[in-house]
Each structure stands twice: as structure tokens, then as C-alpha cells.
A and B are shown apart, each in its own frame.
Chain A
Amino acid sequence: MKKLSKLYLSLVLLFLYIPIFVMIVFSFNTTKSRSVMSGFTLDWYVRLFHNELILKSLGNTIIIAVCASVAATVIGTLAAIGISRMGKRTKATVMQVTNIPIVNPEIVTGVSLMLLFVFFQARMNLEFGYITLIIAHITFDVPYVVLNVMPKFRQMQPNIYEAAQDLGCGPVRSFFKVVMPEIMPGVLSGFLMSFTFSLDDFVVSYFTSGATSQTLPITIYSMTRRKVSPEINALSTIIFVIVLTVLIIKNVAEKRKTSRSRLAALEESGRRASRRRIIKRVAVTAVVVCLVAGMTILTLGGFETEVPEELAVEDPDYYTRLADKDITINVYNWGEYLPLGEDDTLNLNEEFTNLTGIKVNYSTYATNEELYAKLRAGAASYDVIIPSDYMISRMIKEDMLLPLDMENIPNYKYIMDKFKTPEYDPDSRYSVPYTWGTVGIVYNSDLTDMDEEDIDWDVLWNEEYADEILMFDNPRDSFAIAQLILGQSLNTEDKRELRAAADLLKEQKKYVQAYVMDEIFDKMGAGEAAFAPYYAGDAVVMMEDHENLGFVIPESGTNLFVDALCIPKGAKNKEAAEMYMNFLCEPEAALEIADFIGYSTPNSGAFEMLDEEVQNDEISYPDDEFLNDKCEIFKNLSDDTNQYMQNLWTEIKTGG
């Protein structure tokens, strides 16, 4: 029986530790792959200290956790004092309220706070950022402080406060002399619990963070939607090892202590392990570890002495105008859509800051709709965003963009003529094209022996590849594929046509392994699926990393898309934003971008600098004839159609 329990416990522990083991192993992997161990390296540990995004969000996380838990401890402790003096009924009511944030689903807490902050933002100019995050964290922290301190008052001898006064202490002094020491353990464990909850919170932060305050969990989340960079594995491994070491040391120390009083322990074999004490011990350890690890990483990161190479700009003087104004602009971009120093690229944001003295706050989104939702919710104020064609026209229509001052963007001259005055922005007043491309099908030659010419959109409905097909996780792109098969316009507003497309997509669902966006990099890279529709530029990047992947733009036609730089209403630094846009239009910068993200560039200056091979590449730069005859650009659909499509899409995803 004893053996059986031990075996059982070991199995459960194995279950708990397998993922951690995997994480640790892959932190030493030579490639970014998460399925194949190709060799041992400590590279990621070195890179961790140079990864600005991770270090910045780690810093944010620690700052917010410290502020929120300290504030929560003060408020909560004071509250406990007051509550303990209340009558029975008032007390019960207050405790009910205290329980709300604990029992309420986190997502509801997050959403409700988001609604509140949006309301305040509209009226009081409150901005999503540190403040909102700290408020949110205090809100879910403070009940834990109250619940930890309250029992201490209950356990306290009822007369000690009076006794202290009887012995000559004033009320305040009595409090600090006798009451404080009694409740201190509760205060401490409340603080530690708050701190650890704050450190690890994702859901509430996700709904209440803004442009300037991305925390580590949020960064990790956006990574998991594409590919977790092994630096994060390295960071987690470091934290894990430190926690483990501290625990082992503590345990050894304790063993020695207990063996001395073994007899006493024997007497007390009434198994009175105090759970609270254990939790507290773990929490103390965690706090110490986090602080130490955080500080080390931050300081080490601070010692970075790399001198970036200069990027040649046309008119350096233009960029120095705002140098001494201490401006920070908030840039909201697609994930992995700007080189930031990864894999020996230039860090364009850093370059820009060096050049202009303007700091850049950079965060990312995954879909046009997410960007739209963030802006509509008013959850943050951004200075530069990069929506796609149809979304730009929707935003123009809904008056969400600011007209640009082209005087401030002299490099607009480099934009190829065919990308000027597009349908989505007929006067080119709101947008500066950033990249463009087509949609095609990524395939894995290990999993299919079809010839490239035979691959058309209908392969995504091929039963033979059931469960080896990935599909777009957004309605517009998914509908477009069905519409291409049905021969509809990609911009149809005919509900019958849309219904037909939806039916086709529903039929497809049984073959689809997963609906994904950027996760495609991960899944196709790992050989999880045979076919996936995606954007040409991303396909180019995937093909560079994986020889077995190929890309086809079906001859029957496809969607042509353009992503362009815009300034949303509410931007605080329009001039600096325009300067940033201009900077990204510098031919050398545009070339860096095209190189890094693999998308086609609308910048003639950059195009000319490309290798001839690339200029003639059918995937990145199909000939104009194909673009004109076979490709259609998304236009904005009417609200009604948008809503209808959205409903159909939800129906598809939730049905069956």
C-alpha cells in the first residue's frame, strides 16, 4: 500500500513536471524548434540579456507587482482594522464584497475594469498604462490582504489593546506596540500573496494594460501566438532553478533543525503542518527569487554596450527638430513586423531614437480586428498603427484616423505610383503604404506529393488531408478563400453569396486541424500540417527556415493586400509620428524591413537595392499583369455586411 501511494504520487508529480522539463530542455536547443532537439547551446541565456522586449516587460511586471502589493497591503490592513470593529451584519456585508473579486471569473473582473477605465478615459483623460494596471492589480490583491489579516484580529486577545493603554501607552502607540506585532504575520502573508498574484496575472492585465505597460505574461502570450522565443524558456529555467535551490537549502536547514528536536517532533506527530506557513514560506522564497533574478537580469541587460551600426538617412537635419522635447511615441504594430535587433538585424526603433531623441514604445497585435477593437475601446492612445487596406477604409469612414501632413513625410516620394491613391484611401490622405503581398498556400512537401501547379484553393477542402489543414482565424481572409472558389467578388455584399461561402467554410471545418494566425509559423515549422493559407511574405520567412516548406499563389487568383502606416485619432505626438513614418520610408530602413519580414516593399528606393533575383521572384513580386487581372484588394464592407459576416464566422467556429 505504501509503495502504491508512492508510485501514485510520483506519477502525479511527473504529470506536473513534464511540461517544465520540456521547457528546460528546449532552452538549450540550438534551433528555435520546439519539437526537435538539434543540439546544445547556452546561446539563449546570453541573448536573454539582450532581449529588450523581455527585459522591459520583466521590469514592468516587477514595478507593477511591487506598487500594487504595497498599496494593497496598506489599504487592506487598514480595512481589516476597521472591519474588525464593525457590527456583525455590516461585517458580513463587507466580507461579501471582499469575496467578489476572488470568486468572480477573472475575465469578468478584467472586462468590467476595462469598461470602467474606458469610461474614465473618455471623461478624465485617464490613459491605459501603469495607472490602470496598478489599480486593477490592487483591486484583485486587496481582498487577499483583508482575508489574511482578519483572522489575526479574531485570534488576538481581546484586551491587549486596552492593557497597553492601561500601562500608559497612547492609542496610536498602543496600536503599534501591541496590535501591530500580533497582526504582522497576516499582513506579511497578505503582502506576499498579493505580490505573487500580481507577478503572475495575465487575464486581468490583458484587458487593462495599455501601450506603455506590457507585462511579462502579456509578452509571453503574444509570443505563444507566434513562436515562443527560447529566451523565455531560458528565463523560466533560471527562475525555476533559483526557486528550487532556495527550497532545497531551506529544507536541508530545516531537517538539521528538526533532527535536534526530534523527540519534540515525535510528540507532535499530530500532523499539524501549518499550510499557511508553507504557503508563506514558498511566497517569501518566490519574492526573493523574483527580485534577485529581476535585478540581476535588468542590471546585466543594462551593461549592454553594443554600438549599432548607423543607418544612412537622406536628410539628417530633418530628424533633429524634436530632439530636446523628451517625446515618447506609442507604436502598435503586427507581431514580428519590424526588425528589432533579432538575429543580427538592425533595431530600427533604437536607430530612430538615436537619430531623433524620440523614444518608441512598441507593442503588437495579431489581427486587424484586434487593432480595431483596441482603438474602439479607447483602451490606449497610439501614435502610429499599421492596419490593412480594408481596415484603413473602415477607419476612415468611422473617423478614426488623422489626415497626414505629407510635408512632414518627404520620403513619400519613394512610394511606387501603383500604390498611391489606392481605393481604400483614394486621396492618399491617411496612409503611407508599408508593405504589400498576396495570399497563397504554404505546403509541406514531406506531407504531400502534389505538384505545385495542381495546388489550388480546393486543396484546403481535400478529405485526404483531413486534420492536416490549417485555416485563417479571421473572417475576412477565410471568407475570401471560399469566395475565390465560388468565383464571387471578395467584396460582395450579397447575403446569399456570403451564406454560400459560409456553408463552404462549414463544410471545411471537419478537415481543419486548427484556426490560427501567426501560430502558423510554429505549426508549419514543426511539421504539424500539410497545407495552410497565408501571406506571401511570411511564407518566404518560413521557407528560409524550413527546406521542406513551399508556397503557391494559385493561378486562379487571390487577394492582394497592402498594410499602411496611419495615425489614429487621439495620437498625442502627431509630428513625431510622421517623423517615424518618414524614417520607415527611408530606402535603407524599408530594405531592412523587407529583408526581415519577407513582405514585398512598395518603396521604390528599397526595391532598387534588392537583388535582381528577388526583384523577379514570383512569390514576392508577381508580374503586374497577374496583379491586375487576378488579384482583388479588400474594400471596406458596410456595417451590416461586416456584422453579418462576423455572425456567420462565429457560427462556423462554434458549430458542429
Chain B
Amino acid sequence: MENIVSLNDVAVTFDGETILNKINLDIRDKEFVTLLGPSGCGKTTTLRIIGGFLKPDSGDVMFEGKRINDLPPYKRNVNTVFQKYALFPHLNVFENIAFGLRVKKLSEDEIKTRVGEMLKLVNLSGFEKRNIQNLSGGQQQRVAIARALVNRPKVLLLDEPLGALDLKLRKEMQTELKNMQQSLEITFIYVTHDQEEALTMSDTVVVMKDGNILQVGAPVDIYNEPKNAFVADFIGESNILDGIMLRDRLVQFCGHEFECVDSGFGENTFVDVVIRPEDITLAPPENQKIKGIVRSVTFKGVHYEMVVDTADFSWLIHSTRAAQVDSEVGISFGPDDIHIMHKMEG
């Protein structure tokens, strides 16, 4: 598969502040790519550069192999679903969707057919004459998507499109979006700060922080092999401990030595040790290296969330079995549950 969008050494500064720090990113055709990161990480800026609303200070933006830095948004074969939809309040549903087609001066018949198709696609048939202000958030969302897709862009940019919806609706839309992307066979570039959303929908996840790309990979890889503690923590809540890599496959933390599967860190190196809460099992305290007191137990539906205090750390543990508050428990995990990571700079 070839790259449809590439960013080469793209940098943006604003008022002396670095927003994007020479990032490089290749996005393959027909992929669902998610830019993930906390607010201020530069993900929306990246999207706006691809959309053409912002010119990078340096670096190249390539689209199908051509440099498009100076191409205005209205000449790019890319469409955007805006954060708060940015629907035109003076137009009804039909006219909002038809907007781009009318600008292209398509025939009335074609406009009708294409808008009709789109309305069907987003399940809004029959809403043509509705006023935008009278739609629910979810419906507005669908109009915004239809308005962008009707132009048959090669790439669809989505800027936190589900942020304003409630949980249930969000889940529904996630599936719908994913289905749309697959049936239309176009590239989606999706911006979100919700890691769950990123993991469920994407083919590729791009984790960003402070204007840098930290990691690019498939959701499973990112989840299982986070490059550093930040990614690990951002992708899912984790227990992150300071440790020392004594030698290959042997790490020391919490005053004990543990076997692990990682190697290549050198000897006696300070590292971050990440253990996911669901990888921990509670065991009777007797045979365990780490013991602690259960401080709280919260029922979360599928599992219980427990906080267990040991001498120098407070552990987060997910388990289908609840322990007794104030009871002493042992904390147990296997060697492949221990993820060793380089300490982050700074």
C-alpha cells in the first residue's frame, strides 16, 4: 500500500512556542489512522495542516506524492468533520449536505441523488427539510459527516467528532464510523484524546505529546508494547514503578528481584516498570514477594477495581474477584506481565 499523506519534518511554532516539533508521519491509503494524545499535544494542529487551514513553518506536506503546502483547503481532495460540526445555521439539512456539490456546480439531479445516498448512509432519510438547530447532537454529527463525505474525498479528517455526544451514542457512532470507512474504502484521519476510542476504531494509532510523535503502531502493538511509561499510562491506566534493570531478563523493584522477558537495556540501568492492573492476580499473602493492605474496592460492572497499598506504592488492580477491604493480600504477576521501558527524557 502506498502513502496517501506524508508529513516530512513538519514544524509549527506560534508566538515562540513549539506546537509541532519536526514531525514525520506517513499515512497509507484506505487506512483508519487515529492521532491520540492529551490536549495541547499538537494532534489538532497536525489535522489542520493536512486540511490546509494552517501552513507549517517548515517541512513538507505531501498528498499522493505531491507537495501541497501552498494549496488552499478548497483545492484539496480532503474534507473535514469539525469538532463542533460547524454546520451552516442558515441552511437546512439537505442544503448543508449539498453545499460542496453546489459550489462545484453539479447538476440538480446529481446533487439530489448524491445527497439522498448520503442521507441514507447516515440514517437521516426524511430529515432533508429539517432546520439544523432542531437536530440532536447525534443527528448534527451525522449531517456533518454526510456533508464531508458527499464530496467523495480521498481522505476524511475528523476532529474529535464524538466529543460532544453521550457515552452510548458515542459507542454506536464509533462502530458506524468504522463501518463507513470500510465500505467507502477511503482514508480516515481521526483525532481524539480518548484512548479507548482510538483502540477500538483504528488500523493505526499515532500517540502524540508536546508536539512530538511518541509511537506509531497498530492498537494491539501500542497496547502491548508501549514505548514508554507515558504511552503505557495514556493507553490504559497502569502501575508504573521505578526499577533497575540488573541485567538482561532480571529487574529489581519494590526491593525485590523479578524475572522478566525484556533484554537489551544494559546492566544496572534505571528503567520504568509497567504492570497493567488486569495482569495482576491477588494471591494469599504467604508466598508472595509483594504484600499489601486492600484500601478500597469498587464495583465496575465487569470487574472490581481495587487499590492495594504496599510499603512504597499504591497498586491498581482489576479482578473479577473482590477482596475484603483492610485484608492483607499478596500481589502476583508473571514474567511476561512485566513491561520494562526506558525512562523518558525530561
Contact = CB atoms under 8 A, between A and B. Distances in A.
Interface of A: 262, 266
A262 B15 CA distance: 10
Nearest to A263: B17
Contacts of B15: 262, 266
A266 B45 CA distance: 14
A263 to B, nearest CB: 9
A585 to B, nearest CB: 75
Contacts of B14: 266
Contacts of A262: 15
A55 to B, nearest CB: 51
A655 to B, nearest CB: 47
Interface string B2-35: 0000000000001100000000000000000000
A270 B14 CA distance: 16
3 contacts: A262-B15, A266-B14, A266-B15
A289 B15 CA distance: 37
Nearest to B14: A266
Interface string B205-243: 000000000000000000000000000000000000000
A266 B15 CA distance: 10
A262 B14 CA distance: 12
A265 to B, nearest CB: 10
- Closest CB pairs A-B (n = 3): A266-B15, A262-B15, A266-B14
A266 B14 CA distance: 10
A262 B16 CA distance: 12
A501 B77 CA distance: 78
Nearest to A262: B15
Contacts of A266: 14-15
B41 to A, nearest CB: 14
Interface in B164-204: none
A249 to B, nearest CB: 25
A182 B15 CA distance: 37
A266 B19 CA distance: 13
B73 to A, nearest CB: 15
A253 B161 CA distance: 40
Nearest to A266: B15
A266 B40 CA distance: 12
B187 to A, nearest CB: 29
Nearest to B40: A267
A302 B82 CA distance: 66
A65 to B, nearest CB: 40
A8 B14 CA distance: 27
A262 to B, nearest CB: 7
A40 to B, nearest CB: 46
A640 B302 CA distance: 103
A271 to B, nearest CB: 15
A142 to B, nearest CB: 34
A496 B15 CA distance: 83
B53 to A, nearest CB: 13
A330 B23 CA distance: 84
A262 B17 CA distance: 12
Nearest to B39: A267
A203 to B, nearest CB: 37
A375 B15 CA distance: 69
A266 B13 CA distance: 13
B304 to A, nearest CB: 39
A217 to B, nearest CB: 41
B224 to A, nearest CB: 35
A198 to B, nearest CB: 38
A258 to B, nearest CB: 12
A304 B4 CA distance: 85
A82 B230 CA distance: 59
A264 to B, nearest CB: 13
A298 B15 CA distance: 50
A141 B322 CA distance: 71
B285 to A, nearest CB: 49
A315 B270 CA distance: 116
B46 to A, nearest CB: 18
B160 to A, nearest CB: 15
A215 B15 CA distance: 52
A527 B15 CA distance: 58
B13 to A, nearest CB: 13
A409 B75 CA distance: 93
B225 to A, nearest CB: 34
A266 B17 CA distance: 11
A642 B138 CA distance: 77
B321 to A, nearest CB: 45
A540 B15 CA distance: 69
A267 to B, nearest CB: 9
A442 B14 CA distance: 70
A529 to B, nearest CB: 54
A255 to B, nearest CB: 14
A369 to B, nearest CB: 54
A179 to B, nearest CB: 31
